[in-house]
Structure 1
Amino acid sequence: FIIVNCNGVHSMQVCSCYYQGDPNQVCQLMLMGLFPATLDQPKIAFTFQVLKQFQIACLQGKISAYNFINSLTRLT
């Protein structure tokens, strides 16, 4: 699983629970403070903190998503 956080892009293992009555994987990620890149079998997620940082960078600094991600990858 790839997690994008304010301190860079990280590869880590994320385990989901799969038993009756349990929320699906997307809901579980959201409960952990992660926003999945896709709703169908997500493999990449962004922390809510990095999404807030991106919003501020876009509004104040007019930075593109491409440049924002490139700056995060340079941190790791």
Structure 2
Amino acid sequence: MQQTPNPNAMKFTLPGRIFPKPLSFASGDAAAAHPLAAAIFALGGVYNVFMVQDFVTVNKLPDVDWDALTAPVQ
């Protein structure tokens, strides 16, 4: 897990190259066909999930605490 310049975004590094092309989801509905993104949105308080090769960036709403999201996302 790595902080970003945006306090509402966190980068989660994966063990290897997982995604062949960048994927971005701005809602749970948009992520419905992608199991990992859908599971992250299901945690609540997430407004964007961005996946690139070997990492996932999760953007949360300002009033949501990272403590509620980091363990389930990891």
Normalised to the residue count of structure 2, the TM-score between the two structures is: 0.27
Query: Is the helix fraction higher in 1 or 2?
Result: 1
Normalised to the residue count of structure 1, the TM-score between the two structures is: 0.26
Query: Is the strand fraction higher in 1 or 2?
Result: 2
Indicate the structure (1 or 2) with the bigger Cα radius of gyration. 1
